[in-house]
Amino acid sequence: MGIDLHMLEWARAQFAMTALFHFFFVPFTLGMSFLVAFFETIYVKTGKEEWKEITQFWQTIFGINFALGLATGIIHEFEFGTNWSTYSWVVGDLFGAPLAVEGIVAFFMEATFAAISFFGWKRVSTGVHLSATWLLAIGSNLSALWILIANGFMQHPSNEFGFFNIDTSRLEMTNFWALITQPVAQVKFLHTISAGYTLSSLFVLGISALYLLKGKHKDFAKKSAAVAAAFGLISSIFVAVIGDEHAYEVANTQPTKIASAEGLYVGEKGAPIVAIGIPKNLPAEEVKSNDEAFVFKIELPKMLSLLGKRDPNAYVPGLKDLIKGNEEYGIWPLKKLAEIGKEAREDLFKYHEAKKVGDEAAAEAAKADFYKVIWEDKDTGVKLTKADLIGYGYFLDKNPDLIYPPVPSVFYAFHIMVGLGFWFILLFLMSWVAIVKGTFEQNKFLQKLAVISVPLPWIATSFGWMTAEIGRQPWTVFGVLPTAESVTPLALTNVQATFFLFLTAFVILGIAELKILFTVVKSGPKGAH
């Protein structure tokens, strides 16, 4: 296609900036919607006005975030049609379906019940209002479901729910149910929403601790902290459990991602997890052992094999294996994949040329070769065709190191996310124990820990997103459509102009959001109404 690499990098930078800014609001919305529902449920059950005050205060904070989350999400989706129109055209039938459902069902569900929940306190009955609050929480989380189904397809496309149509040169859906139940999307959804619950719980716990440190709104703070600590402890433990399942899915569908996240260059039986380390940025083919790929590292023996294969002695392929191949373990070399992908592209070209001149026999022969089965799993019946490897054809005779993401970036993003995740479990556990014992109000050290930890979940979720998306490179649709072939052929100046336009808008919106948020928190529960 001849895309200017500078333009491609600017387009990627703009998309990353928009996604990261949007993702600052998404997890907070997911978790806070349920916390507000919990608070209101307690109010309805007890009939105590203090719980209504608690509900309305946190609902105010939720509303500030909710509005900006919607606005930035719309900008994000428009970018698929502006900077990534080639991607949208090729995969639109598959990728667009879950986004359409999200827009039609979840978005309108959110809008309808948000109006009742925010403005219906004196206009509808208590039961109707509580129902609207719960339905708003469910609608918000359903939005995440459909978006992550679409993202799951990008992470792990499968001919179980779609195929490459040789007539249209586009990916088309064949099984909507298989698309929405794909394991990669489901574990990604559960991991994302539970991370959101952890984030919002720590925010509520931290603000409650701040009030206790200042000696303000003590009863409000203790009650808010109790709910947040309980929800946060359950959520943070679930994040770790489902994160393990997520890593298992990644290890078996995106081996280059898990190898990059652990700095595994050379495949090993009983492969360890690097708990702490400083990786070097080396070409995979030059690395002779995993030890030389690190400045230093501390390992947990056999844990990567257990995590990725559910067997502590199982073989986990490294980046070098994924490039050069490993016949013993049935891993095809990149060169073979690229040659098959090139043949698929040639079949596609031959088919359309034969169609143009009316040579049906040649067209059918090219089509048959295009969909030729080249591998089949005898246990599951899953088949791999030449068409499924068409994306690899772009990498023939190119630097093999282009086929995997930058190791240090993915390694650090993954390990920071995991490390913070375990800190959240510990913090919630200490807070919950203190609350149950009745010592949380007096424990100033624990309160300070909660306050200074408030920004950390945003860092963890951002690094989690970076692990998923940088780790998928160089693909927009893993193994099918390279990032360099997905971009719109725009002039560099156009992309740069919109980048700085969005950057300016996001800075202004971010400052406004923080100013409003700080004002509400400073005023406290009574000053919020």
For 437-490, write each residue's pLDDT tens digit: 999 999 999 999 999 999 999 999 999 999 999 999 999 999 889 998 888 888
C-alpha 42/C-alpha 365 separation (Å) is 68
- Residue scoring higher pLDDT (66 or 241): 241
Is the pLDDT at 242 greater than 90, yes or no? yes
173 DSSP 8-state letter: E
- The dihedral through the CA atoms of 504, 505, 508, 511 has a sign that is negative
C-alpha 233/C-alpha 426 separation (Å) is 8
103 CB-contact burial (10 Å; exposed 0-12 / middle 13-18 / buried 19+): middle
Is the pLDDT at 433 greater than 80, yes or no? yes
Is the pLDDT at 5 greater than 70, yes or no? no
Going from the C-alpha of 269 to that of each of 172, 272, 403, the distances in angstroms are: 39, 9, 23
Q: How confident is the model at residue 528, as a pLDDT?
A: 39
Q: How confident is the model at residue 22, as a pLDDT?
A: 84
Full-model pTM: 0.91
- pLDDT digit string, tens, across residues 84-113: 888 888 888 888 888 888 877 777 777 788
When mean pLDDT is compared across 66-70, 113-117, 223-227, 430-434, the lowest value belongs to 66-70
Mean pLDDT of all residues belonging to the chain: 89
Q: How confident is the model at residue 3, as a pLDDT?
A: 53
Q: How confident is the model at residue 41, as a pLDDT?
A: 96
Percentage of the chain beyond pLDDT 70 is: 98
Is the pLDDT at 4 greater than 60, yes or no? no
Mean pLDDT of 415-419: 95
Q: How confident is the model at residue 88, as a pLDDT?
A: 87
C-alpha 18/C-alpha 506 separation (Å) is 8
Element (H, E) at 298: strand 294-300
- pLDDT digit string, tens, across residues 373-416: 988 877 777 788 898 899 999 888 888 888 889 999 999 999 99
Q: Angle of helix 5-23 relative to helix 49-82, nearest 10 degrees? A: 170
| Pair of tokens at residue 293 | 């790929």
β-sheet bridge partners, residue 276: 298
The alpha-carbon radius of gyration of the chain (Å, integer) is 25
The DSSP line for 35-101 is HHHHHHHHHHHH--HHHHHHHHHHHHHHHHHHHHHHHHHHHHHHHHHHT-HHHHHHHHHHHHHHHHH
Q: How confident is the model at residue 529, as a pLDDT?
A: 38
- pLDDT digit string, tens, across residues 58-78: 999 998 888 777 777 777 777
| Pair of tokens at residue 165 | 């149509």
Mean pLDDT of 280-296: 87
| Pair of tokens at residue 48 | 């105590």
C-alpha 109/C-alpha 166 separation (Å) is 38
C-alpha 344/C-alpha 342 separation (Å) is 5
- Which residues contact residue 249 at a Cβ distance below 8 angstroms, ignoring those fewer than 6 apart? 156, 183, 184, 187
